[in-house]
Amino acid sequence: MSNSHEAFGNITTSPGQANSALKQGRFNHETVTFEVEGFSHRVCRYGFEKWSQSGFPDMFAGTSPEGPNERAESGGDGEATDKPIRLSGCSNVEFESLIEVMYPLQLTGPPTLSKEQWVGVLKLSRLWDMPEVATVAIERLSAMDLKPVEKINLGKAHGVSTWLKEGYTVLVDDLSKASLKEMMVLGWETAFRILWARDEISRLREATPNAGGYWVSSESLNCGYCYRNWSYKYNVPDPQSRCPNCSNVYTSSGHGVAIIDASTALRSTAPLIDDKPKIVADKVSEVFEEELKEAEMRSAKCTAAKPEPDM
């Protein structure tokens, strides 16, 4: 009968007293015990030290006794199973989802998680300053069928400006993409701003070929700049005249499509340039400017490079 060790090569056991002569290899993972909602988890410290830019590394080094969360008075140091570090601000399901991403049980990369589990991973990666983990969660969630309202809510909650802009753009362009119940979830202020942006765009789209400069009604030629900004209809004699109110005049580079013949423009019903996508994008950037900037700043802060330790 062959020795079972043969399948793994020449394996021998060293006497305990000889271990002190061994050189330290690259891998020497320490473990830590966490308690989440009454569940005990003993895992490698490595992932928390590597992927968290603050909190956990400081806590393990002893420079921050509280770590990323305030621990209960009876909380321990995590070195033993009966002295776990108690984590707050997360559920056990969210924590286990994060552990699956940090320590995948398969060799094919990140695990297959549900939408709710990936949201939990994103939540904790933001909470515990893990930008690389957050990037993976954002990529996986972006590949899923997120509704516009989901993108807005998740974008606000976790600082993802791309989702915010995509969600708002869809609803400003087509409100039928969200149900009444979903709009109520967004809150009255957000819903009002979406409706206001849609109304503004509708007025802009009333213009014939050159919504940016002059536009033609059935009665007269009016200044599109004044109508766009103040809803005033100021008559201009012809496309080359200055507006009596704002003094703007048509220029080929700044006011869209030229109206060569006012009588021809009056009969025209089809725009020469379909600029609706750009108008919607610009309006979203204008109306939701503060939210988008806040999300971008939060994301940039989370992805800031971790400073190298002093040697």
Question: Tens digit of pLDDT for each residue in 32-53?
Answer: 999 999 999 999 998 998 899 8
**Residues 89-105: pLDDT tens digits?**
899 999 999 999 999 88
- Per-residue pLDDT, 116: 96
- Rg over alpha carbons for the chain, rounded to the nearest Å, is 30
Q: How far is 102 from 300, CA to CA, in rounded Å? A: 22
Residue 199 is predicted with a pLDDT of: 85
What residues form DSSP beta bridges with 41? 34
- Give the C-alpha separation, 253 to 59, whole Å: 59
pLDDT at 269: 36
Residue 146 confidence (pLDDT): 95
Report long-range pairs for 67-75 (Cβ below 8 Å, ≥24 apart). Answer: 68/127, 68/128, 68/129, 75/35
| % pLDDT > 70, the chain | 66
Residue 199: CB atoms within 10 Å: 10
Q: Which residue has the tokens 């012809």?
A: 238
Listed as ranges, residues in the chain with pLDDT below 70 are: 1-20, 61-76, 204-220, 224-225, 227-232, 238-241, 249-275, 302-311
